[in-house]
Structure 1
């Protein structure tokens, strides 16, 4: 089944992707700074999950209609 998304949905996807990307950057940075092994494990899990989620969001964004379907 093929889906296309309107302007509002596309903007929402971009906003979520930006939020997830910022969280991913923070988790990767914190991995380098923490010494507790349990916290390192949690951060690694967060990095792995966030990476998969960002890829899924990217896949959804590739299905959006350029310019929201408007033509000039």
Structure 2
């Protein structure tokens, strides 16, 4: 029981750490876009994320097609 509790605590700490890092990066990107005069930085960020997701999905599809 103690091991599972420790693992759960470690997992929660790691998850929280990733959240903090992700939010800090998000804020830096947002502020950088604003600093460059982008009127709607969140819209730009969403469009870039969607394009990256589509590109990765296509790359994955091509890899699957090659492997048979």
Give the shorter-chain TM-score range.
0.3 to 0.5
Normalized per residue, the structure richer in helix is: 2
- TM (normalized to structure 1)? 0.45
Q: Larger Cα Rg: Structure 1 or Structure 2?
A: 2
Answer 1 or 2: higher relative contact order, Cα 8 Å, separation at least 6: 1
TM-score by length of 2: 0.47
